[in-house]
Amino acid sequence: MSFKERLQRLRQALPEREVGGILISQPENRRYLSGFDGSAGILFITPDRAVMATDFRYVEQVKLQSPDYEIFRTAGDMVHWFGELLGGFSGRLGFEAGHVTVAGLRQMGEAVKGQNAVGLMPVEGLVEKLRAVKEPGEIEHIAGAARIALSAQEYARDIIRPGMTEKELAWQIEKFLRENGSQGMPFDIIVASGPNSALPHARPSERRIGAGEPVVIDLGARVEGYCSDLTRTLCPGSPDDTFNRIYDIVLGAQLTALAIISEGMTGEQADASARAVITEAGYGEAFGHALGHGVGLAAHEMPRLGAGSGDRLEGGMVFTIEPGIYLPGWGGVRIEDMAIIEGGRAVSLSKSAAGSEVRYR
Ligand code: ZN
Ligand code: ZN
């Protein structure tokens, strides 16, 4: 799909949000609608205009990456140019409530103070909703990022040794990812060993990895802006009975979810499919986070697969399935793979943990 078509879909959604135009400043949303991957710029979109407001550093880049957009060159604080950017616009103007700062909103308000005909309206999730359903070209990039992440997990399994620090292993993995085609890191790699693995978002530390303990490795790659997100739990040496038991339950929950999740389900129902397996095994309390999240230009985006999520799963949505069990003092096991809704059901995009022998070294 071209950027023109994406713009068209956005314009069609404006009336239902009761706005006549919208400002897009969230970086991934801006990139999705324009192709511009620079770090500063605001899109001003109405039914008949598409403007990119950016400063002199990015003007040439915008000309190349976003030929469908008029360029409005900004200088200094927003309060000085925002009114001019809007030109003759009047009516309700949406802004991204999840991204605009209080200071930014104050400046915009000040700039349009004289123009009574402009009303600033907070809007949430508009472009995020469009982004949730992936086009074939996007799926190709995500699958490419998933392949790199999967080979990085295989590499981690090959080089992990008791006595290495978490930080050493994380750095070796990051090097591998960068050398094998990942454009930077979509998020900081997690390497959490022993009791540290009981913290779902632990940071790699100077702790030395011990034999026979769980090591949670959560990493992602980025290809053409698109992310992947994959977790494996390794065990260098011989796993104890707890490891074997917990690992089987988590893997069972993931495979159950992969088999059950289908088009039309809500995020809450998807989450419940895996949660039921873990709860039945007696570890419901130890699975304290959501089952998964959408992945695309951002490592975490719509839909949300978790309690209370009414996000409906549609064909072309890409998301993670990442159940986990965390036992304070012992450690944790999490297995995360990526799936896509295709032909009405969830299909693995990253070859699930059951298919790759990541379990022990
Ligand atoms: Zn992850
Ligand atoms: Zn994740």
Per-residue model confidence as pLDDT tens digits over 108-126? 999 988 776 889 999 999 9
For residue 230, report the distance from its CA to the centre of ligand 1, in Å.
5
pLDDT of residue 114: 75
Tell how far the Cα of 218 is from the centroid of ligand 1, in angstroms.
5
User: What pLDDT was estimated at residue 358?
Assistant: 36
Query: Tell me, what's the pLDDT at 350?
Result: 81
Ligand 2 centroid–CA 317 distance in Å is 15
* Contact predicate 16/130, CB 8 Å: no
Ligand 2: distance of its center to the CA of 322 in Å?
7
Residues 6+ apart with CB under 8 A from 9: 130
Whole-number Å distance, alpha carbon 231 to ligand 1 midpoint, is 6
Residue 45's pLDDT is 97
DSSP 142-175: HHHHHHHHHHHHHHHHHH--TT-BHHHHHHHHHH
Q: Could you say which of 3.90.320.10, 3.40.350.10, 3.40.50.1580, 3.30.420.40 is the CATH number of the domain covering 3-131?
A: 3.40.350.10
* 45-95 residue pLDDT tens: 999 999 999 999 999 999 999 999 999 999 988 889 999 999 989 999 999
Å from CA of 187 to ligand 1 middle: 9
For ligand 2, the distance from its centroid to the CA atom of residue 242, given in whole angstroms, is 24
State the distance from the centre of ligand 1 to the C-alpha of 336, rounded, in angstroms: 6
pLDDT at residue 140 above 90? yes
Q: pLDDT-derived band of residue 353, with 50, 70 and 90 as boundaries?
A: low
- If pLDDT is split at 50, 70 and 90, which confidence band does 220 have? very high
Q: What contacts 24+ positions apart, CB below 8 Å, involve 352-360? A: 352/254, 352/255, 352/258, 353/232, 353/251, 353/254, 354/251, 354/254, 354/255, 356/150, 356/153, 356/154, 358/153, 358/154, 358/157, 358/232, 358/234, 359/234, 359/235, 359/247, 360/234, 360/235, 360/238, 360/239
Please give the model's pTM, rounded to 2 decimal places: 0.92
Question: What is the Å distance from ligand 1's center to 72 Cα?
Answer: 38
Q: Residue 357 — pLDDT band, cuts 50, 70, 90?
A: very low
Nearest CA to 338 among 326, 353, 357? Answer: 353
**Average pLDDT in the chain:** 94
pLDDT at 359 over 60: no
Q: Which ligand is nearest to the CA of 301?
A: 2
> Which residues line ion ligand 2, judged by CB < 5 Å?
229, 320
Instruction: Report how far ligand 2's centroid is from the alpha carbon of 208 (Å).
Output: 25
List where CATH 3.40.350.10 sits in the chain: 3-131
Q: Give the model's confidence band at 21: pLDDT under 50 very low, under 70 low, under 90 confident, else very high.
A: very high
| Highest CATH level, class, for 133-348 | alpha beta
